[in-house]
Structure 1
Amino acid sequence: ITEAVPLAIASDRALFAKPEINLAMPPTFGGTQRLPRLAGRKRALELLLTGDWFPPPRALELGLVNEVVPHAELMPAAFDLAKRILRHSGPAVTGILTAVARGLNQGIAEGLLIEAEQFARMAPTADLREGLNAWIERRKPSYDGSWTHITRPDEARRASLAIDRRGTRTRTPSPPHGP
């Protein structure tokens, strides 16, 4: 299962295996495809062909988990990782997950096109504007987490000018939105 999820933290008590061979069957649900991409062909074949159990440090070494923590710290570690991700723009997180998932098994040129597509989806959003403004103003961003777009050309122009004036701290305030 760990090879199918984007991130994983393991308890130091966890055990890992690709045991399907012990049941006289090949892995299902992509096990023969995902594992070699994560762990390498030879390492994956060893796990797939032996069905042997292996400990968390080996799972970490193979890239199947991001971190191994003491059992009592598993949920706090997972929540900490989630908080570190959730402090960012939801649409940006989605774009990264999409670009990695769709581009991983493509050539670099195709992967770069997928990445550019995800950036283009974010470019007109209020979250991107907020992120850039916060960076320019040296403050923490406050994302609304929506796909709200900058719809008024004057706002898009102001955002573009603010990016161009990176060293300047003064900004023209945006007029309130009205009907």
Structure 2
Amino acid sequence: MKKISETEQTILQLATDLIQTRGVNGFSYAEIATVMGIKKASIHYYFPKKQDLIAKVLDRYNQSFVTELERIRAKKDDFAQHLQDFVKLYRRNLESGKICLCSMLATEHYSLSESINQSVQDFFQLNIQWLQGLFEEENLFSHQAEDFFATVQGAQLIANSTGDLTHFDQLLTDKIKTIQKK
């Protein structure tokens, strides 16, 4: 893998944060350049088009998320703990005033390229398949994994719009308890 420069890393981190808080259409190269104290041309050097920047941000986010899922799965915790750890991945963003990158990108799919939209769909499918693996080990139906994922997504959107994690926490705690009873 090609080593990226400190400037490129900073651009990617700022873009990630901005997409997760405002969306793709809520920031510009000029804004990133101002924060970094560089010229817009410097950003265009690394990412000629905004879609190039978004694609790289998405790729890094997806790789990081997969690593987190593997870390959770490697732990010898019980089913409920695995689900709680999965929920924490989404909660962490909310604690920082952000939302899952792919959730935000999904809301802006009309302004994104087909390849970016496909990567977002792949991310969601990866989440569902990972959850289905957990659910199948507990002899639960795979559609329950899809239901759980949809609940996490919806709770995340509500918590982000209200700025209150109480509902998010309570809803998902109750959901996990309900699943365990089945």
TM-score interval for Structure 1 and Structure 2 normalised by the shorter chain: under 0.3
Task: Provide the TM-score with structure 1 as the length reference.
Answer: 0.28
Q: Which has the higher contact order (CA 8 A, sep 6+)?
A: 2
Task: Provide the TM-score with structure 2 as the length reference.
Answer: 0.27
Bigger radius of gyration: 1
